Amino acid sequence: MTKEPAMDLNLIGENLSASYQQIAARYRSDDEIEVTSEHHRHLESILLNLSGSFGRRIQVLDVGCGSGRYFHCLKNVDRLIGVDVSEAMLKTAERPVRHEHISARRIELRWENVYFSSFPSESFDLIYSLGMFGNGCPVTVELLNRLYNWLAPGGHLFFNVVDVATLSPSRRARRRIRNVLYPFLPRGVRRTFDRRTAVPFCGLGKRELDRIMRASQFTHFSISSLACQSPLWQGRHLECAAAKPVLQR
Ligand SMILES: C[S@@+](CC[C@H](N)C(=O)[O-])C[C@H]1O[C@@H](n2cnc3c(N)ncnc32)[C@H](O)[C@@H]1O
């Protein structure tokens, strides 16, 4: 059994929303730099391949869409739903980078914390989430199972999460100790701890992510770790590509 991090996802969402309030405009202007990076080209080619692989118009969900940095990297999209916990980020997504290249027929932006979002089963052909997991956003079995449920048979999930290898060895050691102790702390102490750690680090190692994926309903997935070649952020990401089989188990 994989232990889920017992976090107050509501409180963390509020903290994230407050912090993005300060930086949303800057984030949007950074998009103009980021789209010229190797990192962006890498992700763009993955999204183009995935969205183009259906050979028909598709329904897409962008989880933690922020300023809509990847909206222009999709093809054959009928409806694109972008969910984000920050209203300020969603405001910037109304005019995303390279908006003139966006081919989606309809775009809906929803101000929601994805851990509490709800969609009918089999709503999407493609779900992706980039840059969201790791800072305040844990990859949980519960969320993965909901994403699985929202995917249509034959649908694809693609996401990245900060690789713990990004942290210094001493931070990694502190994190390991915290993760071991946290579930045993009394609820009140955990709450105080959560309030102090406004946005906890939730990066993962490859083995941890593999364990979480195996505990979820996804049976077909692959994980790779790669260095992020971007002028805006240096570190490593784990990338996970998963699919929902046409014949479900
Ligand atoms: C680093 S930004 C990435 C934005 C965009 N995906 C990109 O790659 O440019 C992370 C985004 O995730 C959003 N986010 C964080 N936690 C969330 C949650 N629980 N539900 C929905 N959105 C969330 C933040 O508000 C922020 O816009």
pLDDT for residue 195 = 67
β-pairing verdict for 151-162 and 236-243: antiparallel
Arithmetic mean of pLDDT, 31-36: 97
pLDDT for residue 175 = 77
Q: Which of 20, 34, 132 is the pocket-test mutation for ligand 1 (most atoms within 8 Å of CB)?
A: 132
Domain ranges of the chain: 9-243
pLDDT for residue 100 = 97
Arithmetic mean of pLDDT, 150-159: 98
Q: Are 222 and 157 within 8 A, CB to CB?
A: no
Q: Is residue 180's pLDDT more than 90?
A: no
Q: Are 62 and 43 within 8 A, CB to CB?
A: no
Q: Is residue 161's pLDDT more than 60?
A: yes
- List residues bridging with 58 in a β-sheet: 77
Give the residue, by CA position, lying nearest to ligand 1 atom 19. Answer: 113
Q: Is residue 233's pLDDT more than 50?
A: yes
- List residues bridging with 60 in a β-sheet: 80, 126
CA of 146 to the centre of ligand 1 (A): 18
CA of 157 to the centre of ligand 1 (A): 16
Q: And the tokens for 116?
A: 């509490």
Arithmetic mean of pLDDT, 171-175: 80
Residue that is written with structure tokens 């993965």 in the block? 144
Q: Is residue 197's pLDDT more than 90?
A: no
Q: Which residues line ligand 1 (CB under 6 A)?
A: 13, 16, 20, 64-67, 69, 83-86, 89, 113-115, 130-132, 136-137
pLDDT for residue 2 = 46
- Work out whether the CA dihedral 118, 88, 157, 102 comes out positive or negative: positive
List the 236-243 sheet strands across, edge first. 106-111, 77-84, 58-63, 124-133, 151-162, 236-243, 220-227
Cα angle 182, 183, 188 (rounded to 5 degrees) comes to 75
Output the pTM of the full model: 0.92
pLDDT for residue 131 = 96
pLDDT tens-digit map of 203-221: 999 999 999 999 999 999 9
pLDDT for residue 1 = 45
CA 216 to chain centre: 16
Arithmetic mean of pLDDT, 123-152: 97
Q: Which of 53, 58, 100, 17 is nearest to 241 (CA)?
A: 53
Dihedral, CA atoms, 68, 147, 55, 59, nearest 10 degrees? -60
Q: Is residue 174's pLDDT more than 60?
A: yes
Q: Domain 9-243 is classified in which CATH homologous superfamily?
A: Vaccinia Virus protein VP39 (3.40.50.150)
Q: What are phi and psi of 153, to 5 degrees?
A: -55, 135
CA of 211 to the centre of ligand 1 (A): 24
Residue 111: other Cβ atoms inside 10 A: 15
pLDDT for residue 249 = 56
pLDDT tens-digit map of 40-93: 999 999 999 999 999 999 999 999 999 999 999 999 999 999 999 999 999 999
Give the residue, by CA position, lying nearest to ligand 1 atom 25. Answer: 86
What ligand 1 atom has the least distance to the C-alpha of 137?
Answer: 16
Q: Which of 96, 36, 67 is nearest to 230 (CA)?
A: 36
Arithmetic mean of pLDDT, 167-180: 80
